[in-house]
Amino acid sequence: MMPPFELIADHRCLCGEGPLWDNRNKQLYWIDIVRGAINCYSPETGQLQHVNTDQKIGAIGLAESGTIIAALKSGIFQVDLSTGTMVHVLELEPDKPQNRCNDGKCDPAGRFWIGTMSDEGETGQGSLYTLEKDGTFSKKLGGLSISNGLAWDLGNKKFYHIDTPTRQIVAYDYCNESGRISNGIPVVEIAEAEGVPDGMTIDTAGKLWVAHWNGGRVSRWDPGTSKKLQELFLPVSKVTSCTFGGDHMDDLYVTTARIGLSEEEIGNQPLAGATFVFRKIGVQGFPGTRIKNDHYITPYEI
Ligand code: CA
């Protein structure tokens, strides 16, 4: 039987992450955290493009202007993929040089949310921040270990977040106008035998799709009932994140990693680090919002 997934390009990341569908240009972006690479793939032409940022990268977001906002080890940058130009927008945590950016996303109002974590494995050193539309910057959560899995549900006014070692998805009340979150309640817990929750996306029915690091799958959950609804298995253990894309937003793209695998494990999982797509899975995601970045530009670049 044919596997239910296809490979995207003949490419392996050390730590593939942050898949992001560009609805305007019909392209898929994803990053390689360890190599500091931004990858861009066109399903229509089959062309794969890489830009190297020369430092660890945690997340990217697409801006209204057409540039990319990249969360790197040394802070937030604005990247022009066509020229490779990078402009430093701000330093996130100058008092925590051991930290780096981790998962981040643009919310439905156009704000960029970005989590941090210790790059040396210390627990509780990370936070979750928001880069507001006017260029100001605010802290949403503190005391996090590995900030991951951002998703917003405008219908139910919820924001979902994962601090990976807790194995939980926490639902917060969310105000799209102000970006305020409150009243966090765990709604899903991943069983120990199924790895730990990493990246996450949401479908138009308000159900959550979660990547299982060391769990070899993506699972779909109803956050209202805390019930698992579906699982999609992959031939690799370290599944990092997922997002919807394609002409009808019903293809599920999934990133994976090969970092930390032994030679024997890589022999058994030759596709580790590849990006996969499950086509036409019967549910749709939301086309992503673009970052309203007009106020980000610092005077330094002129
Ligand atoms: Ca992640």
Tokens of 120: 């040396």
Task: For Cα atoms 232, 234, 240, give the angle at the middle one, nearest 5 degrees.
Answer: 90
Residue 296 has pLDDT above 60, yes or no: no
CA of 81 to the centre of ligand 1 (A): 23
**Averaged pLDDT, 178-203:** 98
What DSSP character marks residue 302? -
* Contact partners, residue 66, CB within 8 Å, separation at least 6: none
CA of 1 to the centre of ligand 1 (A): 31
Which pLDDT belongs to residue 133? 75
Q: Which residue has the higher pLDDT, 94 or 300?
A: 94
**Averaged pLDDT, 115-124:** 96
Contact, 272 vs 12, CB < 8 A? yes
73, 294, 296 from 135: Cα distances, Å: 19, 8, 5
Which pLDDT belongs to residue 136? 82
CA of 31 to the centre of ligand 1 (A): 11
CA of 154 to the centre of ligand 1 (A): 23
Q: 3-class DSSP state for residue 290?
A: coil
Q: In what order do the strands lie in the sheet with 85-90?
A: 57-62, 68-72, 75-80, 85-90
Q: What percent of the chain has pLDDT over 70?
A: 96
Tokens of 154: 């405008």
CA of 180 to the centre of ligand 1 (A): 23
Q: Of 98, 199, 102, which Cα lies nearest the Cα of 146?
A: 102
pTM confidence score: 0.95
Beta strands in 145-290 (DSSP E): 147-153, 158-163, 168-174, 181-189, 196-202, 208-213, 217-222, 227-233, 239-245, 251-256, 275-278
Q: Of 98, 109, 112, 103, which Cα lies nearest the Cα of 62?
A: 112
**Averaged pLDDT, 3-11:** 90
Looking at the chain, how many residues does it have? 302
Catalytic center residues: 198
Domain boundaries, the chain: 5-296
CA distance 268 to 192: 22
| CA dihedral for 204, 207, 213, 214, sign (positive or negative) | negative
For 5-296, which CATH class? mainly beta
Tokens of 232: 């999609």
Contact, 265 vs 241, CB < 8 A? no
CA of 152 to the centre of ligand 1 (A): 17
Q: Of 291, 293, 282, which Cα lies nearest the Cα of 105?
A: 291
Report the Cα–Cα distance between both ends of the chain, in Å, rounded: 58
pLDDT in tens, 20-39: 999 999 999 999 999 999 99
**Averaged pLDDT, 132-150:** 91
Residue 295 has pLDDT above 60, yes or no: no
Mean pLDDT lowest among 1-10, 166-175, 222-231, 277-286: 1-10
CA of 14 to the centre of ligand 1 (A): 13
CA of 301 to the centre of ligand 1 (A): 30
Residue 50: φ, ψ to 5°: -125, 145
Q: Of 16, 7, 62, 1, which Cα lies nearest the Cα of 259?
A: 16
Q: Mean pLDDT, the chain, as a whole number?
A: 93
CA of 115 to the centre of ligand 1 (A): 10
pLDDT in tens, 65-90: 888 999 999 899 999 888 888 988 88
CA distance 138 to 223: 27
Tokens of 35: 């190599």
